[in-house]
Structure 1
Amino acid sequence: MEYENEEFEDETFKDSDLADESFRNTKFIECFFDNCRLSNVDLNNCRLQDVRFTDCKIVGLDFSKCNDFVLSIGFENCYLSYCIFSDMDLENTDFTGCQVQDCDFVNTGLKNANFEDSDLINSLFRNTNMSHASFRNARNYSIDPNNNFLKQTKFSVPEVLSLLSVYDIVIE
Protein backbone atom coordinates (compact mmCIF):
# COMPACT_ATOMS: atom_id res chain seq x y z
CA MET A 1 0.00 0.00 0.00
CA GLU A 2 1.24 3.49 -0.82
CA TYR A 3 1.22 6.03 2.02
CA GLU A 4 3.20 9.01 0.74
CA ASN A 5 1.15 12.05 -0.37
CA GLU A 6 -2.12 10.30 0.56
CA GLU A 7 -5.04 11.18 2.82
CA PHE A 8 -6.68 8.76 5.24
CA GLU A 9 -9.76 9.68 7.23
CA ASP A 10 -11.47 7.54 9.88
CA GLU A 11 -9.26 4.55 8.97
CA THR A 12 -8.14 1.75 11.28
CA PHE A 13 -4.74 0.17 10.74
CA LYS A 14 -4.65 -3.13 12.63
CA ASP A 15 -1.77 -5.60 12.95
CA SER A 16 0.16 -3.75 10.23
CA ASP A 17 3.91 -3.73 9.73
CA LEU A 18 4.67 -0.19 8.58
CA ALA A 19 8.43 -0.29 9.16
CA ASP A 20 10.47 1.96 6.86
CA GLU A 21 7.36 3.40 5.18
CA SER A 22 7.12 7.01 4.10
CA PHE A 23 4.24 9.09 5.48
CA ARG A 24 5.73 12.20 3.87
CA ASN A 25 3.02 14.78 3.10
CA THR A 26 0.33 12.33 4.23
CA LYS A 27 -2.77 13.27 6.22
CA PHE A 28 -4.20 10.97 8.88
CA ILE A 29 -7.45 12.36 10.26
CA GLU A 30 -9.30 10.53 13.05
CA CYS A 31 -7.29 7.36 12.41
CA PHE A 32 -6.50 4.51 14.76
CA PHE A 33 -3.37 2.34 14.79
CA ASP A 34 -3.86 -0.90 16.74
CA ASN A 35 -1.02 -3.37 17.33
CA CYS A 36 1.08 -1.91 14.51
CA ARG A 37 4.84 -1.79 14.03
CA LEU A 38 6.13 1.64 13.02
CA SER A 39 9.92 1.76 12.82
CA ASN A 40 11.95 4.39 10.99
CA VAL A 41 8.86 5.88 9.35
CA ASP A 42 9.42 9.18 7.52
CA LEU A 43 7.03 11.72 9.10
CA ASN A 44 8.21 14.78 7.16
CA ASN A 45 5.20 17.12 6.86
CA CYS A 46 2.83 14.33 7.93
CA ARG A 47 -0.42 15.60 9.42
CA LEU A 48 -1.72 13.67 12.44
CA GLN A 49 -5.12 14.94 13.55
CA ASP A 50 -6.96 12.97 16.25
CA VAL A 51 -4.73 9.93 15.72
CA ARG A 52 -4.51 7.22 18.39
CA PHE A 53 -1.92 4.49 18.77
CA THR A 54 -2.74 1.44 20.94
CA ASP A 55 -0.45 -1.53 21.61
CA CYS A 56 1.98 -0.34 18.92
CA LYS A 57 5.75 -0.69 18.69
CA ILE A 58 7.11 2.70 17.58
CA VAL A 59 10.87 3.02 17.10
CA GLY A 60 13.00 5.84 15.71
CA LEU A 61 10.22 8.24 14.68
CA ASP A 62 10.86 11.99 14.65
CA PHE A 63 7.43 13.38 15.48
CA SER A 64 8.88 16.91 15.44
CA LYS A 65 8.91 16.71 11.62
CA CYS A 66 5.11 16.39 11.53
CA ASN A 67 2.97 19.25 10.35
CA ASP A 68 1.93 20.97 13.58
CA PHE A 69 -1.38 22.24 12.21
CA VAL A 70 -4.08 20.75 14.51
CA LEU A 71 -1.63 18.06 15.63
CA SER A 72 -3.40 15.69 18.03
CA ILE A 73 -2.00 12.28 18.94
CA GLY A 74 -2.33 9.81 21.80
CA PHE A 75 -0.60 6.62 22.87
CA GLU A 76 -1.89 3.77 25.04
CA ASN A 77 0.10 0.67 26.01
CA CYS A 78 2.68 1.43 23.34
CA TYR A 79 6.40 0.79 23.21
CA LEU A 80 8.09 4.03 22.10
CA SER A 81 11.85 4.00 21.70
CA TYR A 82 14.29 6.55 20.27
CA CYS A 83 11.46 8.89 19.28
CA ILE A 84 11.79 12.68 19.14
CA PHE A 85 9.06 14.92 20.54
CA SER A 86 11.27 17.99 20.93
CA ASP A 87 10.06 21.52 20.12
CA MET A 88 6.44 20.36 19.95
CA ASP A 89 3.23 21.41 21.65
CA LEU A 90 1.81 18.18 23.09
CA GLU A 91 -0.70 19.72 25.46
CA ASN A 92 -3.29 17.15 26.64
CA THR A 93 -1.41 14.26 24.98
CA ASP A 94 -1.79 10.78 26.49
CA PHE A 95 1.16 8.43 26.95
CA THR A 96 -0.70 6.07 29.30
CA GLY A 97 0.68 2.67 30.18
CA CYS A 98 3.53 3.10 27.71
CA GLN A 99 7.19 2.20 27.69
CA VAL A 100 8.77 5.52 26.66
CA GLN A 101 12.44 4.58 26.34
CA ASP A 102 15.26 6.88 25.22
CA CYS A 103 12.84 9.51 23.86
CA ASP A 104 13.57 13.25 23.68
CA PHE A 105 11.24 15.89 25.13
CA VAL A 106 13.34 19.05 24.82
CA ASN A 107 11.54 22.42 24.63
CA THR A 108 8.27 20.50 24.60
CA GLY A 109 4.90 21.75 25.79
CA LEU A 110 3.50 18.94 27.93
CA LYS A 111 0.83 20.89 29.79
CA ASN A 112 -1.91 18.49 30.98
CA ALA A 113 -0.07 15.53 29.38
CA ASN A 114 -0.73 12.12 30.87
CA PHE A 115 2.17 9.72 31.53
CA GLU A 116 0.30 7.61 34.08
CA ASP A 117 1.55 4.03 34.52
CA SER A 118 4.38 4.61 32.02
CA ASP A 119 8.04 3.60 32.18
CA LEU A 120 10.18 6.56 31.06
CA ILE A 121 13.63 5.01 31.30
CA ASN A 122 16.41 7.13 29.78
CA SER A 123 13.98 9.67 28.31
CA LEU A 124 15.19 13.27 28.30
CA PHE A 125 13.05 16.08 29.68
CA ARG A 126 14.63 19.52 29.40
CA ASN A 127 13.01 22.94 29.25
CA THR A 128 9.55 21.40 29.15
CA ASN A 129 6.31 22.81 30.47
CA MET A 130 4.80 19.99 32.51
CA SER A 131 2.25 22.07 34.38
CA HIS A 132 -0.78 20.01 35.40
CA ALA A 133 0.74 16.90 33.76
CA SER A 134 0.29 13.55 35.48
CA PHE A 135 3.11 11.13 36.25
CA ARG A 136 1.01 9.04 38.67
CA ASN A 137 2.44 5.54 38.96
CA ALA A 138 5.05 6.40 36.31
CA ARG A 139 8.55 5.10 36.91
CA ASN A 140 12.18 5.46 35.87
CA TYR A 141 11.84 9.13 34.96
CA SER A 142 14.69 11.58 35.41
CA ILE A 143 13.31 15.10 35.59
CA ASP A 144 15.36 18.05 36.81
CA PRO A 145 12.94 20.48 38.54
CA ASN A 146 15.45 23.29 37.88
CA ASN A 147 15.24 22.83 34.09
CA ASN A 148 11.52 22.12 33.67
CA PHE A 149 8.30 23.88 34.65
CA LEU A 150 6.38 21.68 37.12
CA LYS A 151 3.42 23.72 38.41
CA GLN A 152 0.70 21.42 39.81
CA THR A 153 2.39 18.39 38.20
CA LYS A 154 1.17 15.13 39.74
CA PHE A 155 3.61 12.45 40.93
CA SER A 156 3.34 9.29 43.07
CA VAL A 157 5.38 8.18 46.06
CA PRO A 158 8.05 6.75 46.14
CA GLU A 159 9.03 7.59 42.53
CA VAL A 160 8.67 11.35 43.19
CA LEU A 161 11.87 11.14 45.25
CA SER A 162 13.78 10.83 41.97
CA LEU A 163 13.19 14.58 41.50
CA LEU A 164 15.76 15.09 44.27
CA SER A 165 18.47 13.15 42.42
CA VAL A 166 19.86 16.37 40.90
CA TYR A 167 20.82 17.56 44.37
CA ASP A 168 23.85 16.17 46.16
CA ILE A 169 21.84 14.96 49.16
CA VAL A 170 21.41 11.70 51.03
CA ILE A 171 17.91 10.39 51.70
CA GLU A 172 17.64 7.75 54.40
Structure 2
Amino acid sequence: MEYNNEEFEEQTFKDIDLADESFKNTRFIDCVFDNCKLSNVDLNNSRLQDVKFTNCKIVGLDFSKCNGFIFSIGFDNCYLSYCIFSDMDLENTDFTNCQVFDCDFVNTSLKNTNFEGSDLTNSLFRNTNMSHTSFRNARNYSIDPNNNFLKKTKFSVPEVISLLNVYDIEIE
Protein backbone atom coordinates (compact mmCIF):
# COMPACT_ATOMS: atom_id res chain seq x y z
CA MET A 1 0.00 0.00 0.00
CA GLU A 2 1.24 3.49 -0.81
CA TYR A 3 1.33 5.97 2.08
CA ASN A 4 3.21 8.88 0.49
CA ASN A 5 1.15 11.94 -0.59
CA GLU A 6 -2.15 10.23 0.32
CA GLU A 7 -5.15 11.02 2.49
CA PHE A 8 -6.75 8.56 4.90
CA GLU A 9 -9.89 9.36 6.84
CA GLU A 10 -11.61 7.23 9.50
CA GLN A 11 -9.45 4.21 8.73
CA THR A 12 -8.05 1.59 11.07
CA PHE A 13 -4.61 0.14 10.43
CA LYS A 14 -4.35 -3.14 12.35
CA ASP A 15 -1.45 -5.57 12.76
CA ILE A 16 0.66 -3.88 10.06
CA ASP A 17 4.45 -3.55 9.99
CA LEU A 18 5.11 -0.02 8.68
CA ALA A 19 8.88 0.02 9.28
CA ASP A 20 10.77 2.45 7.03
CA GLU A 21 7.59 3.61 5.26
CA SER A 22 7.14 7.21 4.15
CA PHE A 23 4.12 9.19 5.34
CA LYS A 24 5.55 12.30 3.69
CA ASN A 25 2.83 14.84 2.81
CA THR A 26 0.15 12.37 3.93
CA ARG A 27 -2.99 13.25 5.89
CA PHE A 28 -4.44 10.95 8.53
CA ILE A 29 -7.77 12.18 9.91
CA ASP A 30 -9.66 10.27 12.64
CA CYS A 31 -7.50 7.18 12.08
CA VAL A 32 -6.45 4.40 14.46
CA PHE A 33 -3.21 2.41 14.41
CA ASP A 34 -3.77 -0.78 16.41
CA ASN A 35 -0.95 -3.22 17.15
CA CYS A 36 1.24 -1.76 14.40
CA LYS A 37 5.01 -1.45 14.16
CA LEU A 38 6.21 1.99 13.12
CA SER A 39 10.00 2.26 12.99
CA ASN A 40 11.92 5.00 11.20
CA VAL A 41 8.80 6.25 9.42
CA ASP A 42 9.28 9.52 7.50
CA LEU A 43 6.73 11.97 8.93
CA ASN A 44 7.93 15.00 6.97
CA ASN A 45 4.95 17.36 6.51
CA SER A 46 2.43 14.64 7.40
CA ARG A 47 -0.81 15.74 9.05
CA LEU A 48 -2.06 13.75 12.02
CA GLN A 49 -5.48 14.90 13.13
CA ASP A 50 -7.25 12.90 15.87
CA VAL A 51 -4.98 9.89 15.34
CA LYS A 52 -4.87 7.19 18.02
CA PHE A 53 -2.10 4.64 18.52
CA THR A 54 -2.96 1.59 20.64
CA ASN A 55 -0.66 -1.33 21.45
CA CYS A 56 1.88 -0.08 18.89
CA LYS A 57 5.66 -0.27 18.81
CA ILE A 58 6.97 3.12 17.68
CA VAL A 59 10.72 3.59 17.31
CA GLY A 60 12.75 6.50 15.92
CA LEU A 61 9.90 8.75 14.76
CA ASP A 62 10.43 12.51 14.63
CA PHE A 63 6.94 13.85 15.30
CA SER A 64 8.31 17.40 15.19
CA LYS A 65 8.50 17.07 11.39
CA CYS A 66 4.72 16.73 11.15
CA ASN A 67 2.59 19.60 9.97
CA GLY A 68 1.51 21.35 13.18
CA PHE A 69 -1.86 22.52 11.84
CA ILE A 70 -4.65 20.78 13.78
CA PHE A 71 -2.12 18.23 15.07
CA SER A 72 -3.66 15.85 17.63
CA ILE A 73 -2.54 12.35 18.57
CA GLY A 74 -2.90 9.93 21.46
CA PHE A 75 -1.09 6.82 22.67
CA ASP A 76 -2.45 3.98 24.79
CA ASN A 77 -0.40 0.99 25.89
CA CYS A 78 2.32 1.74 23.33
CA TYR A 79 6.07 1.27 23.32
CA LEU A 80 7.76 4.51 22.17
CA SER A 81 11.52 4.73 21.92
CA TYR A 82 13.88 7.36 20.49
CA CYS A 83 11.01 9.56 19.36
CA ILE A 84 11.23 13.34 19.12
CA PHE A 85 8.39 15.55 20.39
CA SER A 86 10.50 18.70 20.77
CA ASP A 87 9.24 22.18 19.86
CA MET A 88 5.65 20.92 19.65
CA ASP A 89 2.27 21.73 21.13
CA LEU A 90 1.08 18.46 22.69
CA GLU A 91 -1.61 20.01 24.85
CA ASN A 92 -4.27 17.43 25.85
CA THR A 93 -2.28 14.49 24.49
CA ASP A 94 -2.56 11.03 26.10
CA PHE A 95 0.46 8.82 26.74
CA THR A 96 -1.42 6.39 29.00
CA ASN A 97 0.11 3.13 30.20
CA CYS A 98 2.98 3.50 27.73
CA GLN A 99 6.68 2.82 27.78
CA VAL A 100 8.21 6.13 26.71
CA PHE A 101 11.95 5.40 26.57
CA ASP A 102 14.66 7.84 25.47
CA CYS A 103 12.19 10.32 23.96
CA ASP A 104 12.81 14.08 23.72
CA PHE A 105 10.34 16.67 25.02
CA VAL A 106 12.35 19.89 24.71
CA ASN A 107 10.59 23.27 24.34
CA THR A 108 7.30 21.40 24.30
CA SER A 109 3.88 22.43 25.56
CA LEU A 110 2.56 19.49 27.58
CA LYS A 111 -0.35 21.36 29.18
CA ASN A 112 -3.11 18.96 30.27
CA THR A 113 -1.13 16.00 28.93
CA ASN A 114 -1.68 12.59 30.50
CA PHE A 115 1.28 10.31 31.27
CA GLU A 116 -0.67 8.19 33.79
CA GLY A 117 0.72 4.71 34.31
CA SER A 118 3.64 5.27 31.93
CA ASP A 119 7.33 4.40 32.28
CA LEU A 120 9.43 7.38 31.15
CA THR A 121 12.93 5.90 31.43
CA ASN A 122 15.62 8.23 30.03
CA SER A 123 13.11 10.62 28.44
CA LEU A 124 14.26 14.24 28.38
CA PHE A 125 12.02 17.03 29.66
CA ARG A 126 13.54 20.50 29.32
CA ASN A 127 11.85 23.88 29.02
CA THR A 128 8.42 22.26 28.92
CA ASN A 129 5.11 23.61 30.13
CA MET A 130 3.62 20.81 32.26
CA SER A 131 0.79 22.77 33.87
CA HIS A 132 -2.16 20.52 34.73
CA THR A 133 -0.26 17.49 33.37
CA SER A 134 -0.77 14.15 35.11
CA PHE A 135 2.08 11.85 36.07
CA ARG A 136 -0.13 9.75 38.38
CA ASN A 137 1.32 6.27 38.74
CA ALA A 138 4.02 7.15 36.20
CA ARG A 139 7.56 6.06 36.97
CA ASN A 140 11.21 6.50 36.06
CA TYR A 141 10.82 10.14 35.04
CA SER A 142 13.56 12.69 35.54
CA ILE A 143 12.14 16.20 35.65
CA ASP A 144 14.08 19.23 36.81
CA PRO A 145 11.55 21.63 38.40
CA ASN A 146 14.01 24.49 37.73
CA ASN A 147 13.96 23.91 33.94
CA ASN A 148 10.28 23.09 33.44
CA PHE A 149 7.04 24.88 34.27
CA LEU A 150 5.05 22.87 36.81
CA LYS A 151 1.71 24.29 37.94
CA LYS A 152 -1.07 22.06 39.23
CA THR A 153 0.96 19.14 37.85
CA LYS A 154 -0.18 15.84 39.37
CA PHE A 155 2.28 13.28 40.74
CA SER A 156 2.04 10.12 42.86
CA VAL A 157 4.00 9.12 45.93
CA PRO A 158 6.70 7.79 46.15
CA GLU A 159 7.83 8.66 42.58
CA VAL A 160 7.34 12.41 43.14
CA ILE A 161 10.47 12.32 45.35
CA SER A 162 12.51 12.03 42.13
CA LEU A 163 11.86 15.77 41.58
CA LEU A 164 14.42 16.36 44.31
CA ASN A 165 17.22 14.48 42.49
CA VAL A 166 18.57 17.72 40.98
CA TYR A 167 19.33 19.10 44.44
CA ASP A 168 21.95 16.49 45.41
CA ILE A 169 20.38 15.99 48.82
CA GLU A 170 20.05 12.88 50.95
CA ILE A 171 16.60 11.73 51.99
CA GLU A 172 16.25 9.18 54.77
Aligned to 2:127: 127
Deviation of the 1:86 alpha carbon: 0.1
Task: Give the equivalent residue in structure 1 for 2:29.
Answer: 29
Residue 114 of structure 1 corresponds to which residue in structure 2? 114
| Deviations, residues 94-132 of structure 1 (Å, cap 9, x unaligned) | 000000000000000000000000000000000000000
Unaligned runs of 5+ in 2: none
4+ long deviations beyond 3 Å: none
TM score, norm. by length of structure 1: 1.00
Aligned pair count? 172
CA distance in 2, matches of 1:128, 1:24: 27
Alignment partners' CA distance in 1, 2:20 and 2:124 = 25
TM-score by length of 2: 1.00
* 3-state secondary structure, aligned to 1:50: strand
Per-residue displacement from partner, 1:63-111 (whole Å, max 9, x unpaired)?
Answer: 0000000000000000000000000000000000000000000000000
* Partners of 2:154 and 2:118 in 1: CA distance: 13
Amino acid at match of 1:154: K
In 1, the alpha carbon distance for the partners of 2:43 and 2:168 equals: 41
Give the secondary structure class of the aligned counterpart of 1:166.
helix
Tell me how far apart the structure 2 counterparts of residues 12 and 168 of structure 1 sit (CA, whole Å).
48
Deviation for aligned residue 1:168: 1.6
Amino acid at match of 1:171: I
Identity %: 84
Aligned-partner residue type, residue 49 of structure 1: Q
Root-mean-square deviation over aligned CA pairs:
0.2
Unpaired runs of at least 5, structure 1: none
Secondary structure at the aligned position of 1:95 is classed as: strand
> CA separation in 2, counterparts of 1:5 and 1:79?
27
State the distance in 1 between where 2:124 and 2:170 align. Answer: 24
Q: Secondary structure at the match of 2:142?
A: coil
The CA distance in 1 between the partners of 2:147 and 2:93, in whole Å, is 21
